[in-house]
Structure 1
Amino acid sequence: MPVTPTLESRLAVRERPSRPHVMLQRWEKLVFLHWRWDASDIQRTLPPGLFVDTFQGDAWLAIVPFYMRGIRPRFCPPVPGISNFLELNVRTYVHDEQGRPGVWFYSLDCDQPLAVWTARTFFHLPYQHARMQAPMADGWIDYTCQRRGEPAQSFFRYQLSDETRTAAPGTLEFFLAERYLLFSPSPRGIRCGQVHHVPYSLAEAKLDAWDVKPLLQAGFSDPRRPPDHVIGSPGVDVHVYPLTA
């Protein structure tokens, strides 16, 4: 039987690994749009060895648009035209048989071809080529994403509050935002990747427009309602570590 994550195990993965990191990144102006979802529907989409992670019996499905900044290998400076780009991912929350809690990505749309190639090749993540824009005016971000080969674009309009807080351990916000492991389907089976950053500074987010096309592209049905939970973050500096078993 798989081990269920405990609060202690969720806190433990926030500790900085002792091994060297391989990349540096900054994630900025994130908005997490979460829909409560039937856990059995999520479980059917997962590979053997991974199990849907729930909060008070509920599974969650998310769309997360944000800015990627200063992406570079360890010891290298950012490169103009390459290190800054946009990403939008569709994700859910899982754990493995050991009880390690993490993220499972259904897709990661990105407008930087080199980043798509790198993530697919070395991290085995389902990155997708897309045309994306995210201009900001008067505090509002107009975020658009059109995946290659798709006729229509997704559109999100959001604004983040200046006031921030960190998620209290054991709360829903902690469950949704404080994720430091990812699982990916490598040719040798499921692998685990880790990131390290300070706990998110979370901000209330006003959501003026949203789109469910990314959920439909991932094979899910239209929830036919606004997100059940919305939260944002101004950003974090991130260390990325290599995949392990």
Structure 2
Amino acid sequence: MPLPAARGDLLTAPSYAEIAVDRIAPTLRPPGRPAGFQRWRELLFLHWETPIAALRAVVPPALELDTFEGRAYVGVVAFTMRDVSPWWSPSVPGISNFHELNVRTYVHHEGRAPGVWFFSLDAAKAIAVVAARVGWHLPYHHASMDLDSRDGEIRYRSERRWPGPVPARFEARYRVGAAIDGGAAAPGTFEHFLAERYLLFAASGGALKIGQVHHAPYPLHRAEVTHVEESVVAAAGLPAPAGAPHVLYSPGVDVDVYALTPAAPRG
């Protein structure tokens, strides 16, 4: 059976038959003051179907895999961060702007809280890597990264420096196409499942923590990838992706970031 990704169209009436997970509540603004602010720009979303057993082997047992029509996915998201700052400070030129690349899959916790599990996050700013590893317990790595546009083609390159595992490279060239129907992903579609993720999980000292972001729905476009070469998925302990990825692009969103809290068990 072909992947939903391979058809390149919106899936209009899917069902998340595995478990009824509330995918709308996480999109709502949480109470309280954000811990910080970020602007995410020029996002390229690449997704490949990945064997559930391979993902289960590297995702913490406290988390359930979140699947779409029985299929699990690994995503590689390349973008650039702008104006990254804590709530108490303005952004700082030379520190607050950098490129980032993440490798991720989708999970939920006890049938709720659909979110992201990050296998790796590469960033071009060393100070951001150290801060995120210490303060957010996320597997950040420092990388040499470039993003530029020539004759309508966007080119993105990343090569991990430290810490390992290495090699962990990514290179893509792509062209942005038309906006998807409606401009943003409708709840229940494959695109909504992939892109509209507002929760993240992190492991700290054996404890599971959960963080939340808030932003407007992604404005999404189709995109054509003319070249992709990567070893970041294999570096995460997963099989190298096979076949063409499902591709989405977003010009970006402004993001409020909330502090990590314990992922409490269902009462």
Offset at residue 159 of structure 1 (A): 2.2
The reply to whether residue 124 of structure 1 matches residue 140 of structure 2 is no
Q: Which runs of 5+ in 2 are unaligned?
A: 1-17, 263-267
- Give distance in 2, aligned partners of 1:152 and 1:243: 27
SS in structure 1 at match of 2:171: strand
Q: Cα gap change, 1:6/1:112 in structure 2, threshold over 3 Å: closer, same or farther?
A: same
Offset at residue 161 of structure 1 (A): 2.9
Query: What residue in structure 1 maps to residue 177 of structure 2?
Result: 161
Q: Deviations over 1:73-126 (max 9, x none)?
A: 113221111111000000000001152100000000111011101111111000
Q: Cα gap change, 1:72/1:5 in structure 2, threshold over 3 Å: closer, same or farther?
A: farther
Query: What residue in structure 2 maps to residue 34 of structure 1?
Result: 47
- Give distance in 2, aligned partners of 1:151 and 1:97: 35
Count of equivalent residues = 240
Runs of at least 4 residues off by over 6 Å: none
Counterpart residue type for residue 34 of structure 1: H
Match of 1:77 among 81, 90, 95: 90
Report if aligned partners of 1:5, 1:100 keep a CA contact under 8 Å in 2.
Answer: no
Query: What residue in structure 2 maps to residue 230 of structure 1?
Result: 247
Q: Cα gap change, 1:162/1:234 in structure 2, threshold over 3 Å: closer, same or farther?
A: farther
Identity of aligned residues (%): 47
Report if aligned partners of 2:198, 2:214 keep a CA contact under 8 Å in 1.
Answer: yes
Q: Which runs of 5+ in 1 are unaligned?
A: none
Query: What residue in structure 2 maps to residue 107 of structure 1?
Result: 120
Deviates more, 1:152-161 or 1:25-34: 152-161
Please, what TM-score do these two structures have when normalized by structure 1?
0.93
Counterpart residue type for residue 50 of structure 1: L
Counterpart residue type for residue 27 of structure 2: R
Q: How does 1:172-187 map to 2 (within 5 A)?
A: 172-187=190-205
Provide the aligned C-alpha RMSD in A. 1.6
Report if aligned partners of 1:200, 1:233 keep a CA contact under 8 Å in 2.
Answer: yes
Counterpart residue type for residue 175 of structure 2: Q
Offset at residue 162 of structure 1 (A): 5.7
The reply to whether residue 23 of structure 1 matches residue 40 of structure 2 is no
Counterpart residue type for residue 203 of structure 1: H
- Give distance in 2, aligned partners of 1:72 and 1:224: 38
Q: Cα gap change, 1:101/1:160 in structure 2, threshold over 3 Å: closer, same or farther?
A: same
- Give distance in 1, aligned partners of 2:212 and 2:38: 13
Please, what TM-score do these two structures have when normalized by structure 2?
0.86
SS in structure 2 at match of 1:211: strand
